[in-house]
Structure 1
């Protein structure tokens, strides 16, 4: 501990974060932080929390004792309240002027307008009342055109007069916060709520004010957080159809502000192969017996197609087609040679065309008929039958010698080498035609259906196979045409996708194996798990943008969490209370007890204990009973008012500086004994600070004036009155006569006597009327001299207090008694009604002035005699 409150605050501040030290510096040099100050502090907080700011914040400046200005505090003085408009029934431009030092007493009967002025002060200055409904200032509720409410409060802060405009709802002036207001509404709060030390001395307010800044920053951060983050994290969440423990869902659940882009990229990768595998798994797990059969059939088909395509590649390749063309060409050439030879051999035959294709067909048919039907098991041609001449198998006529010779020539021709070669070549062509690839699969009617099945698994392969089929069919037709001698001359290109088909065949096999696995419970479980991983990874891939957005929101939200943690007030509040306890609590309790003793309420079983919150230090009245927590339920109204005044005076005594206080009806419900004590206490306070008191109690008014005299203060008094038109009017004559003491009465008499000489010269009748009234007032003053001067206010009318200890001052010698009697008799004579006969002359103006002077001399002699009496009785002096 450094020893002084401000040193302790500075020492504590060195342990705070940089922006808090800067905040303390700003608070120490400014009554109110501006919006720019708050924005700068907010930027520092956000920078410390890791926000990416577009504009760097200002560098924080550490708080030092020099920033506090060594605890200097400039108090203000209330000069006047003026230009009041539309407040209650106060007259337009109502105004009150206050004594810049010491005491101002504003007296007025009920309804004279005092409360209107107090209500203005209550809303503009410092008061315990915080309920806005109670602070509301009304216009004249019976007025026709209320208009806006306004007033000017004129202060002096050491640099001349300053006008502070007032109107309901305006922001409070920090300077007027030095002015404390006590009235009936706040009295209840002092009794039941305690003392709220809002302006803590020696810098002790700084930690509480730092809390207020923290609360402001917290509100701004929470507002920003709601706007920037809000429910966006929930909105960016990914909803999986099934909640399960897949890698994708685990990653999604563990996503946080630290998740790098690379991890998000890896977790959301979903390639084409992944989709294919997912499709396979979906089909496998959803397949039934029919699907299994389809896959098996397709697998067999693709195996057969592979073999057929191989054969197509062999049979219909360009070299093979060229070979077929050559076969046909060889057969044609051989036949042409044999035909030429036949032409030369059968020139004498009756019919042409022997050796032609038609003829050879006829010969072949005849041979077949002969060996199979007519002459079974005999070589063709049969020229001689068992029973003689054979019949011709063509004409069914006996073969004569010419016919036999012809048949022999024909047989010889058929056995000839050229014809045999031609027939051999033609047989090769026939064999080629019979052996031509039939395209059992490529040319089948269900090829399109199979192709569709392939396409569902591999669209590319299906397209290639479709082209292959067209090429194969075209090339087979070309092969047939070439064997038949009708070649087109152009052939479709032939591409054989052997690797693709073999790979597809392997996939089909895997699909068959998968279907077999799906039929197995254990294996099916594995497939389902694999499918779940792929499904959820695909969901992550689809929502990759949401993952990145949520990660970024977590980054921002975490920064807000750090910033909000940095503006928490618990630690500051704890330290603030420790400082208050160390430097203020004892003083508050001691002062509160001292004030209670002054008002003679120490017998009340109440205490005072600190009860602080984040932004203020408060000392609560404790009724010390479990039956109630509300002190007002225990005490009488008079005790409550005395207790409230004790609390109020405790608060203002421990407030920074010596700001003015405004007190409204302080002795409401008090007995006269405590009323006098309150007057003495207020007069004492007025010797230290500016005090303004509003009262309707004329006795208390006199008590307060007397108490002021005792402490050497000359109070300024103001009298208010009201009429049917308005309230708040200031009586130009000053205080009512009965509220004035002897000295003021004499002053009033002198003032009123000044115009008598002129009046006497103008109108003796009016003069007689006026001087008679003044002698009546002179008589009143003689009577007040008895109470105030002769008997030293030992007994005062209207009070039940008798100050017996002052009897030692009382002594009235005969000479002074005679002078008093003569003066009182003269005043009676000239103030009472006299006979119509002119037996009593009217005193001249200079005579009335002499009579006033005689009273002043008498008063001076009476006071001197009183002091002499005290001096002559040393044994009667009270013990000190």
Structure 2
């Protein structure tokens, strides 16, 4: 229910902090003359609540265009939704709060829409709202899902596309194209496997395809060199191992020792010889030269030494002098020495050293000029092997030099360790042979095509592997997209809308037509040749006024302003009557342009509606105000009335005294008189003059009340001043006995006496407070008795029967 408006700021000319309190259950009537501020409150309500006006420009609420106020238009709208008072902050242009959607507003702006646009059944009765609400929910869900989908998916799938340089029928590209929401992580993992070996194979195939006959020849030469170097490395590793080097040292030491032993032996044998050094190395060289000369030239074919000849002593091969017996004997002794075991052993040991020296591995490939270039070729394939080969070459070279030094008896320097890479060289050579075979095959057209296909597969798989994250992202996006597609399919509204329209056509259309005609009959406008029909092509429960003419589709071009207002009210009440709730209605100037007869009908209809729901009516028509209050009382409703006024400073001010006097009925007038009289007994004690002045005024009000009682009580409002309506059907209540007539006359006489201007002489005394109280009580009792007598007279009359 709507409790009121409070804290209004910067709206039209309404006073700051303006507000209204509404009767929460029945009828509130807000009265004010033109310019009193009624429209300002209505403009707030029609923008905050439900109205047929949808044009934002029409709903705009202005500040005081002639004033100096500034800032946004704002107010607090008080409601009670069942859990106590709640304040809803309102500002101009804001979206209507859902809590206020059930509050319907009717004013001049919406009146023409009801005439020319029909009435929209926003809340359907009889359970028909369910499919329409479901339809609305589905539409909201669709909008939300589409918004979420735009954020979660949008064009992100295209951003996960993988760019392949060449479009071709490879397995990787086929997998990329076939990726779907059902593609598992395992499948993605399997499709994106690209190992180090795959990269090696890709490089290999690439080289196969790019190489020619020259490459095959170069590779053949490299393989041959690597095999030779591998053999040389293997030989050098053995020949110059630590064991071999030690054996060279041992061999040299053995020869030196053997020779020294032989020399010692010679020294002991030839101590008496004329010259020293027999058996020394230089002596041995001299002996060997003499022997060679004797055997080959001087005494060819004779066994050395030759000491005699057929003619006598032989000549010495050195001095060529005849050998004397001592000389011949010395040569015999020397030969015997040379044939001795120690000398022979020494000679063999020295020959072994010489053989070892001449047999040292030459390291031909390791020391060749192209060794560095070949190592670089190896490095391009296997850098670690190239490094090992370079290290071996340095180590082998040092060790060979060391071996020669050891055999020569020279001082030996420290040598680096030696690790032969011959096994790795042989393995690489084997791979190169396979590569050479591949290169040879690449020359064949069919084989080349196979290699090209293999290269394409490897290249695209490598690209796919590097974009695995994109594949996973796209698969996840497709999963989300499929989920949204499924959800959107679930909220399609075609079937719901079709069923909803069928139900509306079957159950609601006739009810709307019937209710619309009933409302028109209440306002006595059934003579208008207009009807109500379901809007064609609409999925909502909307109906439009049918002018039933081909000359125009706009009803307002046919009807007068009064007829339009009556028809609009009929449409509005049809709409609110056929809703699924009893939300409040707010009506501004409902009888504008209506004649007094239809004004009374509207008052009766709104009072009847107020018995069903909360009704708030704004009006400037005092006669309609009285009619509405009277109709409400006949429904057993005590309306809440509010009087607004405006002055040169602001509007929207509430008259603290309540309604203007002529807007009050007999009961309210009596109540106001009694209220105004309450302070007078005390005033009499302090200011008799003021007392006289004010009590005289109250007697004038008492006289007005007697006059109003004639119209309202005695004649039951059959004839009202200011209207041209005579309600003859109420004559059955009219009666006035002599006793009551006399009491009426006496009371009216006293009121006239004390309210008129009396002479200065005290011919008419000022009534005392108890006298006024008695006169008020007399009027109250008279009104009560008049009503009782009226009801009794109506009950005593025979019931009127219609003529046959």
| Structure-2-length-normalised TM-score | 0.69
Matches of residues 699-710 of structure 1 in structure 2 within 5 Å?
Answer: 700-701=624-625, 704=628
Residue 80 of structure 1 contacts residue 98 of structure 1 at CA under 8 Å; is this kept in 2? yes
Structure 1: distance between partners of 2:25 and 2:186: 76
Answer yes or no: is 1:603 the counterpart of 2:526: no
Answer yes or no: is 1:621 the counterpart of 2:544: yes
Structure 2: stretches of 5+ with no match in the other structure = 307-314
Structure 1: distance between partners of 2:476 and 2:520: 62
Residue 585 of structure 1 contacts residue 610 of structure 1 at CA under 8 Å; is this kept in 2? no
Matches of residues 649-798 of structure 1 in structure 2 within 5 Å?
Answer: 649-670=573-594, 675=599, 678-686=602-610, 688-698=612-622, 700-701=624-625, 704=628, 718-731=642-655, 792-793=718-719
Matches of residues 22-171 of structure 1 in structure 2 within 5 Å?
Answer: 88-90=12-14, 103-122=27-46, 125-129=49-53, 142=67, 150=75, 153=78, 163-168=85-90
Find 1:644's aligned residue among 568, 576, 583. 568
CA, structure 1 residues 100+309, in 2 after alignment: closer, same or farther (shift >3 Å)? closer
Residue 170 of structure 2 contacts residue 457 of structure 2 at CA under 8 Å; is this kept in 1? yes
Give deviations 1:556-598, integer Å, cap 9, x for gaps.
Answer: 6655665666566666555555555554343234323443455
Which residue does the alignment assign to 1:45?
A: none
Matches of residues 438-837 of structure 1 in structure 2 within 5 Å?
Answer: 438-481=362-405, 483-486=407-410, 488=412, 495-520=419-444, 522-542=446-466, 544=468, 547=471, 551=475, 577=501, 579-596=503-520, 598-599=522-523, 600=525, 602-604=528-530, 607-609=533-535, 618-621=541-544, 640-670=564-594, 675=599, 678-686=602-610, 688-698=612-622, 700-701=624-625, 704=628, 718-731=642-655, 792-793=718-719
Give deviations 1:261-292, integer Å, cap 9, x for gaps.
Answer: 43343333333322322332344445467655
- TM superposition shift of 1:302: 1.0
Which residue does the alignment assign to 2:106?
A: 182
CA, structure 1 residues 118+358, in 2 after alignment: closer, same or farther (shift >3 Å)? same
- TM superposition shift of 1:660: 3.7
Q: CA RMSD in A?
A: 6.6
Which residue does the alignment assign to 2:226?
A: 302
CA, structure 1 residues 84+730, in 2 after alignment: closer, same or farther (shift >3 Å)? same
SS of the residue corresponding to residue 195 of structure 1 reads coil
CA, structure 1 residues 552+431, in 2 after alignment: closer, same or farther (shift >3 Å)? same
Give deviations 1:709-733, integer Å, cap 9, x for gaps.
Answer: 8878776655433223443445577
Structure 1: distance between partners of 2:476 and 2:706: 94
- Indicate the larger mover: 202-211 or 327-336: 327-336
Answer yes or no: is 1:271 the counterpart of 2:195: yes
Structure 1: distance between partners of 2:332 and 2:692: 197
CA, structure 1 residues 303+753, in 2 after alignment: closer, same or farther (shift >3 Å)? closer
Matches of residues 255-270 of structure 1 in structure 2 within 5 Å?
Answer: 255-270=179-194
Structure 2: distance between partners of 1:420 and 1:762: 179
- Indicate the larger mover: 118-127 or 302-311: 118-127
- TM superposition shift of 1:654: 1.4
Structure 2: distance between partners of 1:95 and 1:330: 132
Residue 315 of structure 1 contacts residue 437 of structure 1 at CA under 8 Å; is this kept in 2? yes
Residue 81 of structure 1 contacts residue 154 of structure 1 at CA under 8 Å; is this kept in 2? no
SS of the residue corresponding to residue 662 of structure 1 reads strand
Give deviations 1:438-469, integer Å, cap 9, x for gaps.
Answer: 11112223323322321321234334433443
Residue 775 of structure 1 contacts residue 831 of structure 1 at CA under 8 Å; is this kept in 2? no
- TM superposition shift of 1:665: 1.2
Structure 1: distance between partners of 2:690 and 2:377: 139
- TM superposition shift of 1:110: 0.9
CA, structure 1 residues 319+789, in 2 after alignment: closer, same or farther (shift >3 Å)? closer
- TM superposition shift of 1:183: 1.8
Residue 229 of structure 2 contacts residue 422 of structure 2 at CA under 8 Å; is this kept in 1? no
Structure 1: distance between partners of 2:218 and 2:552: 90
Q: How many residue pairs end up in the alignment?
A: 760
SS of the residue corresponding to residue 278 of structure 1 reads helix
| Structure-1-length-normalised TM-score | 0.64
Give deviations 1:273-324, integer Å, cap 9, x for gaps.
Answer: 2232233234444546765554233112112223434544675567877887
Which residue does the alignment assign to 1:21?
A: none
Residue 353 of structure 1 contacts residue 359 of structure 1 at CA under 8 Å; is this kept in 2? yes
- Indicate the larger mover: 140-149 or 114-123: 140-149
SS of the residue corresponding to residue 369 of structure 2 reads coil
CA, structure 1 residues 776+239, in 2 after alignment: closer, same or farther (shift >3 Å)? same
CA, structure 1 residues 736+358, in 2 after alignment: closer, same or farther (shift >3 Å)? same
Matches of residues 236-251 of structure 1 in structure 2 within 5 Å?
Answer: 239-240=163-164, 242-251=166-175
Structure 1: distance between partners of 2:215 and 2:551: 86
Which residue does the alignment assign to 1:69?
A: none
Structure 2: distance between partners of 1:692 and 1:123: 16
CA, structure 1 residues 767+330, in 2 after alignment: closer, same or farther (shift >3 Å)? closer
Structure 1: distance between partners of 2:638 and 2:424: 119
Structure 1: stretches of 5+ with no match in the other structure = 1-75, 384-391
- Indicate the larger mover: 773-782 or 134-143: 773-782
CA, structure 1 residues 461+151, in 2 after alignment: closer, same or farther (shift >3 Å)? closer
Residue 696 of structure 2 contacts residue 755 of structure 2 at CA under 8 Å; is this kept in 1? no
Which residue does the alignment assign to 1:6?
A: none
Which residue does the alignment assign to 1:61?
A: none
CA, structure 1 residues 180+830, in 2 after alignment: closer, same or farther (shift >3 Å)? same
Which residue does the alignment assign to 1:51?
A: none
SS of the residue corresponding to residue 201 of structure 1 reads coil
- TM superposition shift of 1:652: 1.2
Structure 2: distance between partners of 1:755 and 1:355: 171
Residue 204 of structure 1 contacts residue 579 of structure 1 at CA under 8 Å; is this kept in 2? yes
Structure 1: distance between partners of 2:355 and 2:137: 108
CA, structure 1 residues 652+380, in 2 after alignment: closer, same or farther (shift >3 Å)? same
- Indicate the larger mover: 199-208 or 438-447: 199-208
SS of the residue corresponding to residue 269 of structure 1 reads coil
Structure 2: distance between partners of 1:284 and 1:306: 25
Residue 180 of structure 1 contacts residue 659 of structure 1 at CA under 8 Å; is this kept in 2? yes
Which residue does the alignment assign to 2:125?
A: 201
